[in-house]
């Protein structure tokens, strides 16, 4: 128990000895993160819409379990259709958007909502207006193309796309918090590493612990 207490005291001494280095590294790391998050990393905006995949309007608008299962499975096919270079290229050409289909596909996410007949289309861009325009154009082109693929299918927009107001990245608060913790962990670890590399004995207690013998006397610093 006493040995554990001594070791804890030694660790505290190491941290106290190098507290300036610990504080400096932590502050520098945090300031660097603030600078990067606010001034270097461009904000990105996400525009999104939701579409419902179902039956074409008819007298019999009821859904059986088989119908629901079929349309839920159909969503996976539609995901692949929307994510094709051909559909994206047609969409941006019709709207005259100044962007390539390859660039669009990098920021495009198409995913079905679990256990529903709803498909969500998202696009992330540094230009918030372009983000909305891309989602609009792709959704319109998809609705037009879907009637050719599934003649009796019906695709409806249930959540219109809007111009995003706030960026989804970077997450400034999280970045700063992570930088602070990393700086603190690295500086503390470095303190212990530097101490471990120092082979000199600092106290008579360390010498007694290593030799297993009591120290008879010590020479004061003034006489050393």
The half-sphere exposure of 176 on its side-chain side, counting CA atoms within 13 A, is 9
Looking at residue 99, its pLDDT comes to 92
Into how many domains does the chain fold?
Answer: 2
- Residues 130, 162, single domain; the answer is yes
204 domain-assigned = no
Distance from C-alpha of 89 to C-alpha of 100, rounded to nearest angstrom: 7
Q: Answer for the pair 188, 177: CB distance below 8 angstroms, yes or no.
A: no
- Residues 123, 157, single domain; the answer is yes
- Residues 140, 117, single domain; the answer is yes
Which candidate, 23, 46, 4, 9, places its Cα nearest to that of 191?
23
Average pLDDT, the chain: 83
5 domain-assigned = no
Q: Answer for the pair 175, 36: CB distance below 8 angstroms, yes or no.
A: yes
Pure H helices in 108-171: 128-149
Which candidate, 49, 21, 182, places its Cα nearest to that of 113?
49
Give residue 61's pLDDT band: very low, low, confident or very high (50, 70, 90).
low
Which residues make beta-bridge pairs with 190? none
Looking at residue 223, its pLDDT comes to 46
Q: Answer for the pair 34, 176: CB distance below 8 angstroms, yes or no.
A: yes
- Residues 165, 175, single domain; the answer is no
205 domain-assigned = no
- pLDDT tens, position by position, 78-137: 888 899 999 999 999 999 999 999 999 999 999 988 878 889 999 999 999 999 999 999
- pLDDT tens, position by position, 170-209: 999 999 999 999 999 999 999 888 887 876 656 666 666 6
- Residues 140, 74, single domain; the answer is yes
The half-sphere exposure of 62 on its side-chain side, counting CA atoms within 13 A, is 3
Distance from C-alpha of 55 to C-alpha of 173, rounded to nearest angstrom: 45
Which residues make beta-bridge pairs with 121? 49, 110
pLDDT over 70, % of the chain = 78
- Residues 94, 143, single domain; the answer is yes
- Residues 108, 126, single domain; the answer is yes
Q: Which CATH number goes with the domain that contains 68?
A: 3.30.70.1130
Which residues make beta-bridge pairs with 169? 44
- Residues 154, 178, single domain; the answer is no
The pTM for the full model equals 0.69
**Cis-peptide into 170, omega within 30 deg:** yes
Distance from C-alpha of 8 to C-alpha of 5, rounded to nearest angstrom: 5
201 domain-assigned = no
- Residues 58, 102, single domain; the answer is yes
- Residues 27, 88, single domain; the answer is no
- Residues 51, 67, single domain; the answer is yes
pLDDT mean over 54-62: 59
- Residues 113, 182, single domain; the answer is no
- What's the domain range around 17? 10-40+171-196
CB-neighbour burial class of residue 212 (10 A; exposed 0-12, middle 13-18, buried 19+):
exposed
């Amino acid at each position: 128990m006493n040995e554990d207490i001594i070791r804890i005291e030694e660790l505290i001494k190491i941290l106290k000895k190098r507290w300036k280095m610990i504080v400096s590294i932590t502050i520098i790391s945090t300031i660097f993160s603030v600078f990067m998050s606010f001034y270097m990393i461009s904000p990105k905006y996400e525009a999104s819409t939701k579409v419902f995949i179902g039956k074409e309007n008819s007298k019999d608008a009821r859904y059986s379990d088989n119908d629901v299962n079929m349309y839920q499975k159909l969503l996976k096919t539609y995901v692949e259709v929307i994510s094709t270079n051909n559909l994206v290229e047609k969409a941006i050409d019709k709207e005259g958007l100044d962007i390539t289909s390859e660039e669009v596909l990098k920021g495009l996410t198409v995913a079905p909502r679990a256990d529903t007949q709803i498909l969500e289309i998202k696009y992330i861009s540094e230009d918030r207006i372009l983000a909305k325009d891309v989602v609009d154009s792709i959704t319109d082109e998809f609705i037009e193309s879907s009637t050719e693929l599934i003649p009796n299918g019906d695709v409806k927009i249930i959540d219109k796309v809007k111009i995003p107001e706030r960026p989804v990245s970077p997450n400034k608060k999280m970045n700063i918090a992570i930088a602070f913790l990393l700086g603190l962990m690295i500086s503390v670890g470095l303190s212990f590493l530097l101490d471990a590399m120092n082979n000199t004995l600092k106290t008579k207690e360390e010498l007694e612990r290593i030799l297993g013998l009591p120290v008879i006397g010590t020479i004061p610093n003034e006489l050393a």
